[in-house]
Structure 1
Amino acid sequence: MTTEPQVRFYLGANSPAGFYSLYDQLIDPAQAADILILKGGPGCGKSTLMKRVARQAEERGLDVEYIPCSGDPESLDAIVLPQKKAAIVDGTAPHVVEPKYPGVVERYVNLGDCYDRTGLGDVRKEIMEAMKGYKACYQRAYRCLDAAAEISSDMRAIAASPAVEAKIAKRAKGILSREVRRNGTDSGKVKQRFLSAVTHKGLLCEFGTVDRLCKRVYELADTYRLGHLMLSHLLAGAVAAGHDVIACPSPMEPDRLEHLIVPDLSLAFVTSSPALPYEKRPYRRIRMDAMADLEAVHRSKARLKFSRKVSAALVDEAVESLAQAKAMHDELEALYNPYVDFEQVHTMADGIARELLAE
């Protein structure tokens, strides 16, 4: 028996500029029925609580959107329950979330109450030591990603030209005329999510989410990061035609699109690369490299080869720093965990589930 992949997106990214947050896109407070903001330190059970509520929601046949942590994809930073217009989110740094309509929509849940503060006093010194160096690992990772992004930008500048941009725009127009029909008179809405992340496990992309949401998947095979040029036209066309879209920026360049999903058309456009291949058979494959300025690419063949090698090495260094940060965080959680009342966490989760999932 095969199970369908979960719907998983990221709302935070380890980017060249540091931690990049899309948490304001989690759920529209003006349309939400309930948003629970979890507060509490390391190891207090925030992810455990969300996983428990999500499991009970799925057992009742409800959809769940999972928001894993970009630092540790095995841990959750949020869940969204679309049919209940509700969400639960870890509101602690670096993705601090504060209420817009406190008490009306959002409410705090203090998981710090599950700590045994007396017991934690016995490991006070060890905890303070474990905190040191954690941020430094992230800062080194960001510096490496920044250098890698600069090199990638240089590679794109070689492959792109006004003629290339015109060619891509024409191809996008053809796709829109074939795939996108007008839906009503209003424009569609844009929701932002990261589909990929730079994590302590390396570069990851939640292609399973696309396969869950869409039957037709266009693969943009793209070595030179030209995909944004096509995706921006496709996004504008789909929205103008009245379709809501999920725009997925690149964690390496959050101002540029990497993927695009149009759920009501069961249609998606995903960028693939040697580092992040789309391994299923796509509905259609578009070779973005074939639209590059091939003469310029040929002239710069040696330079591009060197740039790819250096960029990949820098990303590997960033991943190693994130792995070191993860190891330090695991040590910190190991210090806290014996002094957390997880039975209390489970009781809180079950109470929240009863409230949110009530018929």
Structure 2
Amino acid sequence: MDNLKGRHYFPGGNTSRGFYSFYRYILSQDDAKRILCLKGGPGTGKSSLMKKVGDYFFNKGYTIEYHHCSSDNNSLDGIVIKELGVALIDGTSPHIVDPITPGAVDEILNMGDALDIDMLSKHKKEILSINKDISKCYKRAYRYLASAKCIHDDWSNLNYESLDSNKISVLIETLKNDIFRADISGYGGERRLFATAITPNGIITFADNLAKDYKNKYVLTGGPGMGKTDILKFLGTCGQKKGYYVEYMYDPFVPERIEHIFIPEISTCVITNNEINKANYTGINYSLSDYTKPNSLSSKASEIEYDSQIFYELVNKAISLISNSHALHDDLEAFYIKAMNFDVVNNIYENVIRKIEKYE
């Protein structure tokens, strides 16, 4: 993914708790000069519009954030043009976004203006039927992910019982002293998003893209229950207390857990190789199996292997259902694409460019 332009995130995720949203962190009201909420059905060109606008301003030299859809990682749910304080956000289901400060910050951009409503009305029954099938697929996928969470909890407990808490405490202090050499004034801000998502194409991660320009990379390697979130939570809170802005990337399976932290002011990140992303990130590496009690993990090896096998079977079943839903969504989009007037879409694009260029 090194060839990706800009910075890439997932603002929402398909998790063991169902769809989980961090949309409010795409761009805050305080930091925004303009947020455009895109409305319109599937296939109305929202993602394509955002890609075109993002690429246009990227080529002008601006920093662009591309916020991907967890239900189709090749599609966008939002973009942010950082230096201009402008965002375009998909405001449709399942992550419904409506203006918070209408006019002053937010406004609605209706892609449905380009739709031939009469043409769509003729296919009402097919559209309703496909929507019901999509909903059924997601409900089943989330049941499988919830079931996988039960197995994951057991796997996590087996690992946690093996940890040497004294060794972990020493590691936390070592990392804190190594990372934070100085304080700055105030209490640092924060942002919460996903770098990894469970998608129709499997588990996709952008952590390598996000970390590529960071000078100091610390890597924690370990499975569930190995203390990664506790370490990251401590370091993130410590950084904020010292005045640093911290980006928290959350776990795509258990969204209460932290997967990575990024501290841009000191060009430092702490990222994890874990059972979900199965990554092999490099940096200053800490294998958390080295921080366990002697022989404790090996004595549980067969139970851990059993849990992991069932866990991946359940997750893979969920992925196949999300993939089925994506295929149905493509069928749904086909109705809308046929009903689109793309001359109107091109006019919307030109108007958006002119609107944003006012902030340059």
TM (norm. structure 2) is 0.94
2:100 is matched with 100
Q: In the aligned structure 2, how far is the partner of 1:294 from the partner of 1:304?
A: 17
In the TM superposition, residue 161 of structure 1 has moved relative to its aligned partner by 4.4
2:340 is matched with 340
Q: In the aligned structure 2, how far is the partner of 1:17 from the partner of 1:353?
A: 38
For 2:175, the aligned partner's letter is: I
SS of corresponding position for 1:160? helix
SS of corresponding position for 1:132? helix
Query: Which is worse superposed, 348-357 or 139-148?
Result: 348-357
Contact 2:10–2:195, Cα closer than 8 Å, also in 1: yes
Q: In the aligned structure 2, how far is the partner of 1:271 from the partner of 1:163?
A: 17
Distance 1:124 1:351, change over 3 A: same
In the TM superposition, residue 339 of structure 1 has moved relative to its aligned partner by 1.1
In the TM superposition, residue 180 of structure 1 has moved relative to its aligned partner by 1.4
Matches within 5 A, 1:225-240: 225-226=225-226, 227-240=228-241
In the TM superposition, residue 163 of structure 1 has moved relative to its aligned partner by 6.2
Distance 1:173 1:232, change over 3 A: same
Q: In the aligned structure 2, how far is the partner of 1:213 from the partner of 1:192?
A: 20
In the TM superposition, residue 277 of structure 1 has moved relative to its aligned partner by 3.6
For 2:90, the aligned partner's letter is: D
Q: In the aligned structure 1, how far is the partner of 2:163 from the partner of 2:305?
A: 24
In the TM superposition, residue 263 of structure 1 has moved relative to its aligned partner by 1.2
Q: In the aligned structure 1, how far is the partner of 2:5 from the partner of 2:275?
A: 23
Query: Which is worse superposed, 162-171 or 141-150?
Result: 162-171
Q: In the aligned structure 1, how far is the partner of 2:3 from the partner of 2:16?
A: 36
Q: Which runs of 5+ in 2 are unaligned?
A: none
Q: Check if 1:278 corresponds to 2:279.
A: yes
1:197 is matched with 197
2:156 is matched with 156
Contact 1:159–1:293, Cα closer than 8 Å, also in 2: no
2:263 is matched with 262
Contact 2:189–2:240, Cα closer than 8 Å, also in 1: yes
Give 4+ residue runs of structure 1 displaced > 6 Å after superposition: none
Contact 2:6–2:58, Cα closer than 8 Å, also in 1: no
For 2:178, the aligned partner's letter is: R
1:22 is matched with 22
SS of corresponding position for 2:212? helix
Q: In the aligned structure 1, how far is the partner of 2:212 from the partner of 2:306?
A: 37
Contact 2:192–2:248, Cα closer than 8 Å, also in 1: yes
In the TM superposition, residue 251 of structure 1 has moved relative to its aligned partner by 1.6
Query: Which is worse superposed, 340-349 or 36-45?
Result: 340-349
Measured against aligned partners, the alpha-carbon deviations of 1:109-152 in whole angstroms (never above 9, x if no partner) come to: 11111101122233333223322211111111111111112212
Contact 2:17–2:254, Cα closer than 8 Å, also in 1: no
Q: Check if 1:317 corresponds to 2:309.
A: no
In the TM superposition, residue 14 of structure 1 has moved relative to its aligned partner by 0.4
Query: Which is worse superposed, 120-129 or 260-269?
Result: 120-129
Distance 1:30 1:274, change over 3 A: closer
Q: Which runs of 5+ in 1 are unaligned?
A: none
Measured against aligned partners, the alpha-carbon deviations of 1:80-114 in whole angstroms (never above 9, x if no partner) come to: 11111111101111111122211111001111111
Distance 1:193 1:288, change over 3 A: same
Q: In the aligned structure 2, how far is the partner of 1:193 from the partner of 1:102?
A: 24
Contact 1:141–1:317, Cα closer than 8 Å, also in 2: yes
SS of corresponding position for 2:261? strand
RMSD of Structure 2 on Structure 1 (CA): 1.8
SS of corresponding position for 1:185? coil
Distance 1:35 1:305, change over 3 A: same
For 2:288, the aligned partner's letter is: M
Q: In the aligned structure 2, how far is the partner of 1:121 from the partner of 1:176?
A: 60
Contact 2:4–2:209, Cα closer than 8 Å, also in 1: no
Measured against aligned partners, the alpha-carbon deviations of 1:196-254 in whole angstroms (never above 9, x if no partner) come to: 10111111111232233412222211123421121111112211221101001112111
SS of corresponding position for 2:351? helix
Distance 1:119 1:125, change over 3 A: same
- Give the number of aligned pairs: 357
Q: In the aligned structure 1, how far is the partner of 2:319 from the partner of 2:120?
A: 31
Contact 2:162–2:293, Cα closer than 8 Å, also in 1: no
TM (norm. structure 1) is 0.94
SS of corresponding position for 1:345? helix
Q: In the aligned structure 1, how far is the partner of 2:223 from the partner of 2:173?
A: 22
Query: Which is worse superposed, 67-76 or 198-207?
Result: 198-207
Contact 2:192–2:250, Cα closer than 8 Å, also in 1: yes
Q: In the aligned structure 1, how far is the partner of 2:289 from the partner of 2:108?
A: 49
Contact 1:168–1:229, Cα closer than 8 Å, also in 2: no
Q: In the aligned structure 2, how far is the partner of 1:260 from the partner of 1:84?
A: 25
SS of corresponding position for 1:193? strand
Q: In the aligned structure 1, how far is the partner of 2:238 from the partner of 2:180?
A: 8
Distance 1:173 1:105, change over 3 A: same
Contact 2:160–2:225, Cα closer than 8 Å, also in 1: no
For 2:72, the aligned partner's letter is: D
For 2:263, the aligned partner's letter is: V
Q: In the aligned structure 2, how far is the partner of 1:37 from the partner of 1:70?
A: 18
